[in-house]
Amino acid sequence: MKRTIFFLSFFFLLNNLFADYEILLNLDEGDIFYSVNETNANVDTTMFGESTSVETYNLNISKLTVLSSKMGVFRIKSELVYADSSDFAGQNIMDDLSLLLGRISYEFSVDKNGAISDLVVLGDRESFNAELSSIVAGLFSEGEDATDQLEVVKNTYLNFFDNLLDDKTILENLEASFAYLPKKKVALGDTWNSSLTQDFSGMLATLSNDYTLKSVDDSNIYLDSLVRLDFDLDEYLQSMIASFGEGFTGSVDVDASGICTYVIDKNTGYPLSSSLNLKASFMYSFEGEGFSFTMPMSMVITEKVSTYKVLPEEYLKYLSQE
């Protein structure tokens, strides 16, 4: 009897090890998902021997509604229900931006493999861009203390957020958010990857994910993803250097990587939760006649996303923001 149990256990172990799994979206019309995103960031910077440290906290709650479900294609509406941020560098800029972003929603179609189509952005983007310019301009001095360097940074902010709701940017971000779906059957230990490069006002950022199927149980699928961010900051850096005047040179070295874990609902193929830990280091170097300095900066970002069909009581008060 013991030998029979042993062989049965061994058989099921082998079956799980070599089984192929499909991870597919399977949503029903009328499904509603609330995603609660909590992000903490710690940034440490040293300049001319002076060290500064900034901590920020962001809470975003988004609502996804499945408008239709037909033959493996799902029409979804996404909207920001609530957003709040701790002060950033003594400013409430992020709160203002979050409230503004909350007025924009969009609809899109996604098939069972995660392919995105038919994106429609809802909301008055002309009004959005006008208010955005006013909010970002408020971050920077327009008086005697204003500098060419601040002007470069301000324009970078404006261009970044102006492009944030561009159809192409939204589409790319949606595709990246469903890249955890492997598009084919996978076995335990199998890997697949995705890569997204975006241009933010001369700052090229490439996000790469290497996903691995770690385990499967009766209810859930568990994935790990090695995350890497690569930056090409040459164009932005040259704009900054030009603002210093002639005869200056500069460079920046960047290293950013981390790991993200996913828990996927086996029935719906939709993430129940994800947890990201990302560490980044930057080293800026500038030189000119009689002038030289370096500026090291380190950043640690932790992000936790939890998905609910019924929002927990602790978050219900935010629904009044809908």
CATH of the domain at 223: 2.30.230
pLDDT value of position 8: 45
Residue 162: partners with Cβ closer than 8 Å, 6 or more residues away: 129, 132
Mean pLDDT of all residues in 72-76: 97
| Within a domain: 5 | no
Tell me, yes or no, whether 29 lies in a domain.
yes
How far apart are alpha carbons 202 and 114 in whole angstroms?
29
In a domain, 237, yes or no: yes
Residue 164 lies in a domain: yes
Task: Supply the pLDDT for residue 151.
Answer: 62
> How many structural domains is the chain composed of?
1
Domain of 68, in residue numbers: 20-321
The 3-state DSSP class for residue 289 equals coil
Percent of the chain with pLDDT over 90: 44
Q: Is residue 49 part of a domain?
A: yes
Question: Is 7 within the bounds of a domain?
Answer: no
Q: Is residue 97 situated within a structural domain?
A: yes
Decide if pLDDT at 139 tops 70. Answer: no
CA distances, 268 to each of 27, 220, 239, 279 (Å)? 6, 10, 47, 31
Over the stretch 267-308, which tens digit does the pLDDT of each residue have? 999 999 999 999 999 888 878 777 777 888 899 999 999 999
Does residue 76 form part of some domain? yes
Tens digit of each residue's pLDDT (9 = 90 or more) over 212-234: 999 999 999 999 999 998 888 77
Q: Which contiguous run of DSSP H or E holds residue 242?
A: helix 234-244
Q: For position 199, what pLDDT does the model report?
A: 78
Averaged over 103-109, what is the pLDDT?
Answer: 87
Beta carbons of 298 and 44 less than 8 angstroms apart: yes
Kindly indicate the confidence band of residue 93, based on its pLDDT and cuts at 50, 70 and 90.
Answer: low
